[in-house]
């Protein structure tokens, strides 16, 4: 049975809850077709976030790693395509680090692509009527940092990894203009993503893309 490590971020900024953490807690130990999901909690802290996931990888020896965070303002579950080698924090992380235009890894390449089948994952979600779309930017805060840092650690490894942003929960979005998704839908969506990652060694060539 394959292992899928799902790592969800703790709350940060003004938020008291992070749907990523709530969802992965509910998915811990869940069996899917040919695999089992293991979850872990990740601090919203520069460097430490990557260290925690690397420790979990060493401990559990997963086949697939999916790191997950919230994206206020997004209406869909969005597998990220690319991680860039920049930390540019508009707000401090949970230990007060606020850096401007510093690399995630000195001497690292400009960017890494997700090694998850992002198009197949989006297709699998849409087939179940769960809103989903590929995203071409994970921002420049700790989500991009962990995405880049874990990809860097996994260079040359057989373990595949990518980052997924999810919308806010209805209770977080209340009184704001932000869209939201219920926790049950997010949990169902992440299980579908894990299954799609397991079932598709190669990504599907599905058209789309964005035009500016
Ligand atoms: N979202 C933030 C960091 C943690 C999280 O859940 C981000 O998008 O960078």
Domain ranges across the chain: 2-199
Fold classification of 2-199 is: Aminopeptidase (3.40.630)
Query: Quick check: is 212 catalytic?
Result: no
Q: Is the pTM of this model over 0.85?
A: yes
Residue 208 has pLDDT above 90, yes or no: no
Show Cβ contacts of residue 63 under 8 Å, excluding neighbours closer than 6 positions: 2, 3, 4, 35, 158, 159, 160, 198
Q: What is the mean pLDDT of the chain?
A: 98
Measure 1 CA to ligand 1 centroid, in angstroms: 30
- Give the model confidence (pLDDT) of 33-89 as tens digits: 999 999 999 999 999 999 999 999 999 999 999 999 999 999 999 999 999 999 999
Phi, psi of 112 (to 5 degrees): -130, 145
Task: Calculate the alpha carbon distances from 57 to 42, 64, 124, 131, 142 in Å.
Answer: 13, 9, 26, 29, 19
Separation between Cα atoms, residue 122 and residue 200, nearest integer Å: 12
CA of 209 to the centre of ligand 1 (A): 23
- The pocket around ligand 1, CB under 6 angstroms, is made up of 9, 12, 18, 20, 44, 69-71, 139, 141-143
Mean pLDDT of 99-126: 98
Is residue 22 annotated as part of the catalytic site, yes or no? no
Ligand 1: nearest atom to the Cα of 20? 6
Average pLDDT for 107-114: 98
Q: Across residues 14-31, what is the average pLDDT?
A: 97
User: What pLDDT does residue 104 have?
Assistant: 98
Helices (H), the chain: 19-27, 48-60, 118-127, 142-154, 170-173, 183-199
Average pLDDT over residues 113-142: 98
161 noted as active-site residue = no
User: 210 C-alpha to center of ligand 1: Å?
Assistant: 23
The count of other CB atoms within 10 Å of the CB of residue 200 is 17
Beta bridge partners of 102: 87
Residue 123 burial (10 A CB sphere; 0-12, 13-18, 19+): middle
**Contact criterion met (CB below 8 Å) for 17 and 41:** no
């Amino acid at each position: 049975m394959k292992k899928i490590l799902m790592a969800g971020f703790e709350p940060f900024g003004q938020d008291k809850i992070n749907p990523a953490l709530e969802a992965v807690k509910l998915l811990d130990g869940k069996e899917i077709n040919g695999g089992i999901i293991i979850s872990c909690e990740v601090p919203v802290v520069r460097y430490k976030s990557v260290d925690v996931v690397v420790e979990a990888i060493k401990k559990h020896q997963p086949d697939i790693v999916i790191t997950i965070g919230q994206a206020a303002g997004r209406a869909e579950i969005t597998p990220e395509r690319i991680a860039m080698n920049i930390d540019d924090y508009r707000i401090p992380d949970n230990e007060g680090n606020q850096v401007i235009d510093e690399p995630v890894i000195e001497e690292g390449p400009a960017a890494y692509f997700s090694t998850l089948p992002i198009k197949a994952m989006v297709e699998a979600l849409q087939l179940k009527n769960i809103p989903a779309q590929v995203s071409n930017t994970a921002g420049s805060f700790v989500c991009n940092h962990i995405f880049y840092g874990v990809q860097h650690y996994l260079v040359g490894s057989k373990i595949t990894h990518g980052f997924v942003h999810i919308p806010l929960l209805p209770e977080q979005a209340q009184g704001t203009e932000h869209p939201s998704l219920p926790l049950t839908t997010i949990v169902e969506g992440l299980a579908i993503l894990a299954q799609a990652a397991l079932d598709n060694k190669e990504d599907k060539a599905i058209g789309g893309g964005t035009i500016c």
